[in-house]
Structure formats: structure tokens, C-alpha cells
Structure 1
Amino acid sequence: MTSSDRPTRWGILATGGIAAAFTEDLLAVPGAEVAAVASRTESSAQAFADRFGIPRAYGSWAELAADPGIDVVYVATPHAAHLAATTLMLESGKAVLCEKPFTLNARQAEQLVATARAQRSFLMEAMWMYLNPAVRRIVELVRDGAIGEVRAVHADFGFPAVADPAHRLWDLAAGGGALLDLGVYPVSFAHLLLGEPEQVKAVATLTPEGVDEHTAIVLGHAGGALSLLSCSLVAGYGQRASVHGSTGRIELPADFFQANGFVLHRDGKPAEEYVLDRGPGHGLGLEAAEVVRCLRAGLTESPLVPLDGTLAVMRTLDAVRAQIGVRYPDE
């Protein structure tokens, strides 16, 4: 069996909820094999391994990094640990799929990209929304002029979360807050359709600890288009998005980042409903399949989730934080 014939061997770094959801979907991805899991404690790793039938469980990151039977590692640690965990895996010769948000800030993101390029190792942010069939079709329609010149993008992501100071969502040191956990989706959606903005304006409500719980963002793009975005840990928005052009609009229903379809409204014509199934499970298998495809093609980054795009989003998130006054302890 040649290396191109055998399955792509995955290691899972961390054992939380998103790691479990990803692993469930990964098990159904053709050409993928879940070979190992690592956590900060061996008991946590073993429990996860038992749950998903994973052959090897490690109680440290270093053991996973040293495992010669791993091709790619999915990093699902809290945001603040992404830099250290991803750097370790890249420097150990592993390809990496790193959860979003990629890092706490653009400076850290630049470090990871530089390391990956120096190592000639594959690296991709787990921005699964970019791989969603409905979102990809919207990009095609916009580029083909289906709604004319894009004038505005609207996107909101919010839900009322229990204000638990012990939870990472409310912990500034862990990168908590609405912006990095939720706002990364609306900001990435705007970037996908209109590119990096020329202007960034934002306001937010902060907790006494300095965590943003409710943030509104306006991005000004080349040509005069605007992106009107919001994210919240105190208000339920329904996770809707829309794209408005000079001759029509596109509306995504609830949970736009994992939509199974959308409605295209062209001026003077009946509405057109598109149904594009994102596949089984949580939809996270799309990003795993893209990693497998890229590795088999010998690529060091995905053309669909490019690293320069990830860096641009991180710069915008930094600009938003500068406006609303959120600073992490190491900045």
C-alpha cells in the first residue's frame, strides 16, 4: 500500500464538545482514519478513545506530536492554546487543522503561518462555513452577477448564554467573549463576499472583567459596500444572513453558517429556492474531507480556506477589539 492509497491518519488534540462533534463526523469521511487522541490527562483521553473506538490515547500533547503514525492533527483546544498546540504539531512534522478562531490575534496567526510555511507543512483554519455547499453556491452566484453589484452584507450570530465566570466563554484569559467565538462567523462571511474591509467601526457591551458580551460591527469595503454584523452572548438572533445587491438579494435562514439552502430574489422575478444538503452529521466532515483532499494532492494549504484569508479575518477581529476595548492578558 502506497502513502496515497492508505487512509489519512488523524490525531485529535483535546476532548471537549467540538472535538467530539468533529470526531463523529470524521469517522464517516472516506479516506480518513482516527488513530489517536490526546488530552492534558490520560483519563480524559482514554475515555474519549473508548467512546469513539480510537486505538491510542495520550495524556500529553508531546506524546501525540511524537507519534509517527499520525499525518494530521485536529487542534480543538481553547483559543488561548491554539498557538502553542499548533506550533508543537507543525514543528513535529504534522499537518494541522486548527479550530476557529485561528488564534487570539493576528500576530499569533502570522506566527503560525510562518511556521507552517517554513516547515512546508499543511495548515488550515477549521472555518467549515467556507466549505458549506450553500455558501459556496452563494459565492458563485454573486461572482456571476446574479444580484448585480453587492451593496451590503448582513449577518448576525447570537444566543443567550449562561453567565458563568468559570466557563471559557466569559474568561478573558481564555479568549472569551462573543467576538471570537461567534463574531468570527459573520466577519468571515463578509470577508468571503466582499474581501478585507477598508474601514472598521464597532461598539460593544463589556462585562466588568472586560469580556465582550454584545458587539455590533460595521465594515466599509472598497466601492462603498457595507457589512452590518453583530454577535451576542445575551441576545438570540437566529443566526441569519443576507446579501443585498443592486438587482436582487440572497437570504439565508437560521444558522447561516451551516445552511442547507437559501432563497434568491431577483428584481421582477419569482423567488428561487436553492436546496443544497450539507451532508450527514454536524457538517464538520466537510473540512476533514478538504484536508484529506489537499494532503493527497500535495498541497500545503487549501485554496478554499486560504491562509491569507485567515490572516485578513484576524486583522479585522483585531481592529474590532481595538474599537471596543478588549485586550487579552498577553497583549
Structure 2
Amino acid sequence: MTGTTRWAIVGTGGIARRVLQDLRLTENVEVVAAGSRTQETADRFCAETGVPRGYGDYDELLRDPDVDLVYICTPHPMHADYARRAILARKHVLVEKPMTMSVADAVELRDLAAEHDVFLMEALWTRFNPNFRRALAIAADGQIGELRLAQTGMGFPVPASGPKRFWDPALGGGALWDLGVYTLSIVHAFLGSPRSISAAGEVQGDGVDRWEAVTLDYEGGGVAVAVSSIVFAVPPTASIGGTKGTLVFSGPFFSPTGGTVTLGRPLEPPRPRTSLSPSKASAMCPCSAP
């Protein structure tokens, strides 16, 4: 697409408001509409944010000829259906993480988007952070050798009082859908698809996972460990190990402020050097903060 892209935001909660602020700082983007489950909620959102049009009916929003792209930030279980309907209406789609609640739904959406020639992407902002992209380039250049290890984690105790989405199984509650999306995406970005996966964790009777530690095994000897939790704190760190050295992110890994590459091996003295330039990226994750 060329020129200005006209967006509609589907969902009017806190995430929608934060993303709207960022969109208004972006060139060639215009937010023209917002959709909610009721017209009253949509109208209130528009009045408070200055979005021109509000829709209480999703299909009516999709019929708006001025909408090029929909950004879906509804509760997790609604993502697949809303994205499917948008694709069939030939709207481009950006979906909050997790894109879907199953692999089958994700594959269906991928194929449907290709069939209808529309853009579809999961809205995982970390992948566009300048420092994260620099880290990927460093790894791809072989500066730390062949990649063999990824370690990452993210978690914090969420009170029973909420936010509700963490604890309600009907909303896709649990640590994996909300936080594990970040940890596993970082692992995948550096090491790719694993040969096998194993996990330990704790799941409540209603199916909500309280924490998990996932181990991924790779062809050629690589391994990764990703921990996520909504009942205890997990440092939001990430490190990558290679055959020549390590790359360690500074700040929360989902919004890194920098990083350090360290080369050498015992008993030789290490040779650390800062390799990622500092950025002004926010240290708070808008999608997961309680």
C-alpha cells in the first residue's frame, strides 16, 4: 500500500488507548473508526479519544469503505473469528498477541490471508525494537558463533482481583497466552523451530496455567529455556549463547534498552563490549502490565 493507511481499532480497552497514542505518532496512518460490542461503548471511546466514527456492530465496521486495516485488541478467544471476518471483508489485519488460541486457527488465517491477498500479522512489538533488531543482526553475522542457547523469562504475581484476563479461562487466562508469547517468540527468533518441547508447570482445575518452564531442544545440540508466571516474579531477562560468546540484553528483554556481547572463554579473560545502542523504547510492556 502507498499513501495514508486508514485504521479501525476493534476493542476499546486500555491496550486500544495506548496503541492509539502510538499510531498518532506514526507517519501515513489515520485512525478513522473504532468498534466495540455495544454502540454506547464505541461512542464513548470515540468521544474520549477523538476517533471520528464508532461502531457497535463489527460487520458494519467491516463494510466501511474508508477502513483499510483493522487492529484487533479484543480478548484472546475472539481473535480468530474477528480476524477471519476481516480477511473475508478484504481488510488488512493486525492482531494482538496471541493471534489465535490454536495452531489450526493460525494456519487457517495464514492461508485465508494469502488467498484473499491481504496482510496479516500478530502485533508483537518487540520484533520492531531497534535494539532487538540489532541483536538479531549481530547473531546473524556470526559474532557470537553458532547459536546454541537461549534463556529468557517473564512473570509477576497477578492478584486474584485482576486484571480479569489473567484468571478467566473464558478470556484465555493464564501465564502462557499473556506472557509466554513473549518468551517463546524471542527464543524462536534466534534459534528457530525446535526438534522437541517439554515443560513443567502448574495448571488450575479450570485450565488456567499459573506458571510454566518450557525446555526446547534443537538439532545440532541447541537448547532453550523459557519461564513465565502469574504467581511469582520472574526477571524479564534474555541471553543468547553461541560457540564464541554471549549476547545479553539490557533492560526488559521485550523492550531492550541495550545489550552486551562478551567474547572469550575461561580461563581467558572475557572481552565484553556494548553492542546495542541505547534506545528510548519504553521499559513497560503495554500488553502485559497488571
Q: Between Structure 1 and Structure 2, which shows a larger proportion of helix residues?
A: 1
Unaligned residue ranges in structure 2 (runs of 5+): 265-269
Q: Please report how far the alpha carbon of residue 224 of structure 1 lies from its aligned counterpart in structure 2 after TM superposition.
A: 0.9
Describe how 1:158-177 pairs up with structure 2 within 5 A: 158-164=155-161, 167-177=164-174
Moved >4 Å (runs of 4+): 278-284
1:104 pairs, out of 87, 101, 106, with 101
Q: After TM superposition, give the deviation of residue 166 of structure 1 in Å.
A: 8.3
3-state SS, counterpart of residue 166 of structure 2: helix
Contact map agreement 2:251 2:258 (CA 8 A) in 1:
no
Match of 1:309 in 2: none
CA 1:162 to 1:281, structure 2 compared with 1: closer, same or farther past 3 Å?
Answer: closer
Percent identity of paired positions between Structure 1 and Structure 2: 36
Bigger strand share: 2
Over the residues paired in the alignment, what is the CA RMSD in angstroms? 1.9
Per-residue Cα deviation, 1:51-105 (whole angstroms, up to 9, x for no partner): 2211001112112111110000000011100011111111111100011111001
Alpha-carbon distance, 1:131 to partner? 1.2
Spell out, residue by residue over 1:273-330, the C-alpha distance to the aligned partner (whole angstroms, 9 max, x if none): 522425579798xxxxxxxxxxxxxxxxxxxxxxxxxxxxxxxxxxxxxxxxxxxxxx
1:251 aligns with 2:248: yes
Residue 273 of structure 2 corresponds to residue 271 of structure 1:
yes
Change (3 A) 1:176 1:280: closer
C-alpha displacement of 1:15: 0.6
Q: Which residue of 1 aligns with 2:41?
A: 44
Inter-CA distance 54–187: structure 2 relative to 1 (3 Å threshold):
same
Partners in 2 of 1:35 and 1:281 — Cα distance?
29
Structure 1 pair 18/139, CA: closer, same or farther in 2 (3 Å)? same
For residues 41 and 253 of structure 1, the distance between their equivalents in structure 2, rounded to whole angstroms, comes to: 43
Query: Map of 1:144-155 to 2, 5 A cutoff?
Result: 144-155=141-152
Partner of 2:267: none
For the residues of structure 1 that align with 2:41 and 2:51, how far apart are their CA atoms?
Answer: 13
For residues 74-85 of structure 1, what are the structure 2 equivalents within 5 Å?
74-85=71-82
Query: 2:87 and 2:147 mapped to 1: Cα distance?
Result: 39
The structure 2 residue matched to 1:130, chosen from 112, 118, 127, is 127
Contact kept, 8 Å, 2:129 with 2:281, in 1: the verdict is: no
What TM-score do the two structures reach when normalised by structure 2?
0.92
For the structure 1 residues 112 and 159, does the alpha-carbon distance in structure 2 shift closer, same or farther, using more than 3 Å as the test? same
Distance 2:144 2:189 in 1: 16
Give me the whole-angstrom Cα distance separating, in 2, the residues matched to 1:281 and 1:264: 21
Q: Which amino acid aligns with 2:254?
A: F
Match among 57, 65, 68 for residue 68 of structure 1: 65
* Structure 1 stretches lacking a partner, 5+ long: 285-331
Q: Is the 8 A contact 2:245 2:262 kept in 1?
A: yes
Choose 264-273 or 227-236, whichever is displaced more: 264-273
Structure 1, residues 179-213: CA drift from partner, whole Å, max 9, x if none? 01100111111111010100100011112212101
Cα separation, 2, equivalents of 1:118 and 1:105 = 20
Cα deviation code 1:153-183 (max 9, x no counterpart):
0010101101248812112232211001100
Q: Counterpart in 2 of 1:201?
A: 198
TM-score under structure 1 normalisation?
Answer: 0.81
Give the aligned length: 281
Question: Aligned partners of 2:35, 2:87: CA distance in 1, in Å?
Answer: 16
* SS of residue in 2 equivalent to 1:186: helix
2:16 is the alignment partner of 1:4: no
Which piece of structure 1 moves more, 241-250 or 168-177? 168-177
